[in-house]
Amino acid sequence: MGLDLISDVADLTAAIVDIESVSGGEEALADAVEEALRAFPHLVVERAGNNVVARTELGRDERVVLAGHLDTVPLNGNLPSRVDGDRLYGCGTTDMKSGVAVALRLAATVVEPTRDITYVFYECEEIEAEHNGLRKLAANRPELLAGDFAVLMEPTGAQIEGGCQGTLRAEVTAVGERAHSARAWMGSNAIHTAGQILDVLRAYEPSCPVVDGLEYREGLNAVFISGGVAGNVIPDECVVTVNYRFAPDKSVAEAEAYVRGIFDGFQVTVTDTASAARPGLTHPAAAAFVASSGAGVRAKLGWTDVARFSELGVPAVNYGPGEPTLAHTKDEYVDIPLIAECEQRMRTWLEGPTNVGP
C-alpha cells in the first residue's frame, strides 16, 4: 500500500494507521515510508533495519531532527481506522502515527527550509529498550542523529513538553530470620520489617524542581512487593520494588545515591535506569520553535526518547497532535484539527513565517 505524502495530513494519518505495525512487525510500514520518501529528490534517504532516515543537505547553519516511532502496542479490535466527527479513531492514532504523518508531510513539502532537517522514523519504541530503533541508530550510526535541536513527535496534545523525567527501579530488601509460625518469637518476620520501607514511601513528599524554567514533579512509589515461604513459616526476606521518577536536575548516579540514602539500613539493588533529559529551551533553535509555534510549554512528566538525544548532546522536546492520556487505549483517537494545527506550526518554524507550504 503506497503512501501519498501530498495528501491531506488527516488522510495520510489514516493511511499510516491502517498499515498494521505492532512492535516487531514494522516492515510493511517502513517499506511504505521509505518508498514514499525516495520519490522526493530534495531528500537523502537511508534505511537501517526498519528505521528510515531522510535528510536535507542544503548547507544551512543549523540542523534540526524530527523523529517518530512507527510501531504501536498490540491491536485491541481497533483497526481499521474510522472517522467520527472531528476524531480519527484507531490503533496508533494518538501514539504516534498522527505525529509521524505530520513529519512525513513536512519531509515531502518543505523543500527550502531555513534549517537543514533530518527526519527519523524508527522501530520498536513500545517494547524493551534493547530493541529500540533510535537506540540502535545512536549506537551504530550516531551521525544520522546529529543536530542542534530535536523534536520528538510524541503525543502532547499540541503542547510543547520539554525534556523528560528519568526513571529508576530498585529492589529494597527487608531481612529477617526464619522460624516455625507456632514459635514466631524465635524468628524475625521480614514482611513485618518491610512496613518500615512502606512508612518511608508513605512519608515521601515529592520534590518539584524547576529546570530551565519548567517545573517537574518527582515520584517515589512501590510497584511490587514479594515475600513469604510457606503458610507455617516466618519469612526471612521481603522485597519491595520501588520506582523513582526524577527530574532532569539529577543524573542517574545522583538518583541512585538518593534512593540508597532514603532507604539507608536496607539492602538496595538497582535493577533498571534511564536518564532524564533537560529541556534545552535556551538553545536558539529551541527558542525559535517555542516563539514561532505559539504553543504552551510544560515539563514532560514521564520518560521518552528525548533522553537518547540528550545523551548525544542534542537538546530535545516532545511535540505532537495526539492526546497522551489516550495512548494504548482501545478507543484511542486523535482530534483531526490538531493534526493540521501541528503541521502548520512546524511548517512556520521550518520555512519561516512568510512561506506557505503546498
User: How many angstroms separate the CA atoms of 71 and 49, rounded?
Assistant: 13
SS3 of 135, please?
helix
Kindly report the CA angle at 315 between 149 and 245, in degrees rounded to 5?
A: 145
DSSP state of 97: I
- Active site (annotated) includes residue 71: yes
In a 13 Å sphere around the CA of 210, the CA atoms on its Cβ side amount to: 2
Catalytic, out of 125, 154, 323, 335: 125
User: How many angstroms separate the CA atoms of 179 and 23, rounded?
Assistant: 48
Catalytic, out of 71, 236, 341, 343: 71
Secondary element (H or E) of residue 314: none
Listing DSSP states for 277-292 in one string gives: B---TTSHHHHHHHHH
- Active site (annotated) includes residue 125: yes
What are the strands, taking DSSP E only, across 254-307?
A: 267-274, 297-299
Q: Which three cell numbers stand for residue 28?
A: 510493511
SS3 of 108, please?
helix
Secondary element (H or E) of residue 140: helix 133-140
User: Please, which residues bridge with residue 238 across strands?
Assistant: 174, 227
Residues marked active site are found at 71, 125
